[in-house]
Amino acid sequence: MAQIHDLTAIEQAEGVRRREISPVEITEHYLDRIERLDGQIGAYVTVTAQKAIEQARLLAAGTPEGPLYGVPIPIKDLNLVKDVPIHFGSATYDGFVAPVDDTVVERLRDAGTIMLGKTATPEFGLPCYTETYVSPPSRTPWDLTRSAGGSSGGAAAAVAAGLAPAAQGSDGAGSIRIPASVCGLFGIKPTRGRISFAPIIPDLAGMSANGPLARTVADAAALLDVMAHNNPGDLYAAPPYEGTFLEHASREPGRLRIARYSRPVVPDTVLHPDVTAAYEEASKALAALGHEIVDIDPPFGPDVVPQFVTLWYAFACMHPVADDRADRLRPLTAWLRERGFATSAPSFLQAQASLQLATRLALLVTNEYDAVLTPTVTEPPRPVGWFEEGDDPELTFERMKHFAAFPAIYNVSGQPAVNLPLHWNADGLPIGVMLAGRVGDEATLISVSAQLEASRGGFWGDRRPAMW
C-alpha cells in the first residue's frame, strides 16, 4: 500500500478534496519523517511543527480549493516568513526573526499549502553546495556522503528524501537546477520577473528567481502557478501567459527545434564522462519523440565569466553584517565580500552593461529555437567537503565555477530553464540535463518535460533512493 509520501503533491491535494485524507494526517506524516530521517539528510534548518499542525487543522475545517490545498511546502531559508527565525545560511544572523512575509510566502499560504519549516541554504545563497555554521550539511539521499548542491540544497534534499512532497527554492546562478540535478528532481528557474521578491528583497540585476522543486513536472507546474505574481515596484515583469502552467503538463508540445551544445562557458572546464552520457541520452530521447536536434556553438563566450564574477563579488556584500559578528562568516563568504567591497560602482555597472550586451547577442541565436539543451553540471554529485578541500577560498570558488559552468548564463539572460532527471550513472547517482527556453515561455519547457517524463513511464521511472 502506498504511503503518504509516495503520493505526488497533486495526488495528496486530490485526496484532501475527496476527504480521503486530511491535511493534518499529511502534515503529521512528514513531521514524523523529518524527525526520524533529517539527521541523515540535513534538509531543514528550522522545523515549525506546531505552526504546521495549527495551519493544517484550520485547512481541514475549510473548503479545499486549488491544486495544492492541504499540501506541505517548505520555504527556503533565504525567504522571509513572519515571526520565524531566518539565518540566510549564516551564523551572523543568529537570533534574527523575520518581521514580514515575502509575498511568495503569502501566495503559498493563500493557496492552502502548509509550511513544515525552513530548508537549509549556504551562507547568503552564494555557494553551489550547502555547508554552513548553522546546520548540518545538506546531502543527496542517493549517497549520503555527497552534497545536495546549492543554494536550494536543503529544499532539494527534502523532496528527494520524501521529507516534503515539493518545495519552494530560489535560483541566482543555478541554485534550483544544480541541487535538482544532484538530487534527481525536476526544477524550474522561471523567466526573470515571473515571481516577485517583494516586499524587501531587491531585484537588482534580475539574476535571481524564486521557483519550484518537485519529483514530477505536474507538481512543479502547479507550484509555479501558485507562486507566479508581481507587485508594485518590481523592476521586472515576465511576459504574460495564457491559462495555467499545470495545463501545459498534459499538453503535447508539438515538434520542436531544439539546439544543443556541451562546451562550457568557463574556460578549461572538462566534462565528466557520465555527464556527457546523460547529455547524449537526453538528445536521443528528444529525437526519438520527433524533435529536431541541432548542434550550435555556445551563445555566450568565455568573456562573460569575469563580468559575472564581478557581480557575484558585489552580491556577496548585500547582506549587512555587524562588525562584532564578521568573525562568524565562513571563509569563502569573507573572501567574496572582501573583493566585493573593493569593486567600484563603475566596475559593477560596466560588468552589468557587458552582460546585457552579451545577452542581446545570445538571444538572437537562441530565439531561433524552441529550447536549448546542455548539461546542468559538469560532474556527478561531489562529496561533502570537496569544494572546501585545502581551506583556500580561491580554490573553492574555482571549483564552484567549473562544477556549475552551465546554469548561470540563463540567470544572466533571464530565460527560463529546467533540470531534467533523466540519467543515473553506474553508481546510482543522478546526472541531470538542462533545457532553456525563450523568455516568457516556461509553458513549452513544461510540455516537453512532461512528454519526456511520460516516455519514461511517468515519474522519471519512479526512481527512489534506498532511504525512501
Catalytic residue among 175, 181, 283, 447: 175
- Looking at residue 174, the DSSP 8-state letter turns out to be S
Residue (of 256, 217, 292) closest to 446 by Cα position: 217
Amino acid at 98: A
How far is the CA of 423 from the CAs of 183, 239, 295, 403, in angstroms? Answer: 11, 32, 21, 18
Distance CA 296, CA 146 (A): 33
Confirm if 186 and 214 have CB atoms less than 8 A apart: yes
How far is the CA of 147 from the CAs of 207, 210, 387, in angstroms? Answer: 24, 22, 10
Residue (of 420, 416, 370, 438) closest to 195 by Cα position: 416
Catalytic residue among 90, 151, 170, 181: 151
Q: Is 262 a catalytic residue?
A: no
Q: Is 151 a catalytic residue?
A: yes
Distance CA 124, CA 122 (A): 6
Q: Is 250 a catalytic residue?
A: no
User: Angle, to 10 degrees, between the axis of helix 442-455 and the axis of helix 217-227?
Assistant: 160
Instruction: Kindly compute the dihedral angle of the four CA atoms of residues 76, 77, 82, 84, in this order, to the nearest 10 degrees.
Output: 120
Distance CA 452, CA 185 (A): 14
- The residues carrying an active-site annotation are 76, 151, 175
